[in-house]
Amino acid sequence: MAGKSLRKGRKVSWKSHGETVHGTVREKITSRTTTAGRTVAASKDEPQYRVTSDKTGKDAVHKPGALHPE
């Protein structure tokens, strides 16, 4: 998925432990930081996205290629 269409509030889905998870993009991460319980090695050239699961309310961080628009 093109990173340009992954904006805050966008509904997306991703695979986690063999099942499809639905959620919302919360933040585009463009620098090394700690979020969602782990260190994220993101950069402006290789951003990652913090997403929140609709089912559990927990946060996760994924690269753009793992996220699919809904």
pLDDT of residue 4: 63
Q: How far apart are CA 18 and CA 30, in angstroms?
A: 28
Enter the pTM of the model: 0.89
Q: Which domains does the chain have, with CATH numbers?
A: 3-69 (2.30.30)
pLDDT of residue 3: 58
Band (pLDDT 50/70/90 cuts) for residue 1 is very low
Q: Is 66 left (phi over 0), alpha (psi -120 to 50) or beta?
A: alpha
